[in-house]
Amino acid sequence: MVSREDGAAVGNQVLERVHDGDMAEMWRQFGELMAEAQTRSDTRFDRMEVDVAGLKADVSVLKTDVAELKTDVAVLKTDMAETKEQLNELERSTGRRFDRVDARLEELIGLIKRDELKK
């Protein structure tokens, strides 16, 4: 389809080309100009179709990338939860060891005090 601007330009060109008032010649020229305008419109439309196809491909790639990122985030969340659990277990284990060492130190301090009292 010819745009309004293209149609006006074609009409002006036809009027400029008609010199002697011959209607048949005017219509022939008008037809040629309309065919030329249609060809330009078809070319533009074809370029737009190619551009749209390229954009669709880009969107498809982006969707794939987003899906991969979502998978990566899910894996990271799982890893983080596992790491937190391991850290908590390590803290509990360290706390138990500290309690044992603390109890042993208190026992040794008590033995040292008793030994000093005996002297």
pLDDT digits (tens, 9 = 90+) for 51-103: 999 999 999 999 999 999 999 999 999 999 999 999 999 999 999 999 999 99
CA 65/CA 67 separation, integer angstroms = 5
The predicted structure's pLDDT at residue 118: 83
What pLDDT score was predicted for residue 61? 96
Q: Using CA atoms, how far apart are residues 30 and 27, in angstroms rounded to an integer?
A: 5
One-letter-per-residue 3-state SS of 19-74: CCCCHHHHHHHHHHHHHHHHHHHHHHHHHHHHHHHHHHHHHHHHHHHHHHHHHHHH
Total-model pTM:
0.47
Burial letters for 28-59: b for 16+ Cβ neighbours within 10 Å, e otherwise?
A: ebbeebbeebeeeeeeeeeeeeeeeeeeeeee
Contact by Cβ (8 Å): 14, 25:
no
CA atoms within a 13 Å half-sphere pointing along the CA-CB vector of 43: 6
Counted domains in the chain: 1
Structural domain of 51: 4-118
pLDDT digits 0-9 by tens, 13-55: 666 655 556 677 778 888 888 988 899 899 999 999 999 999 9
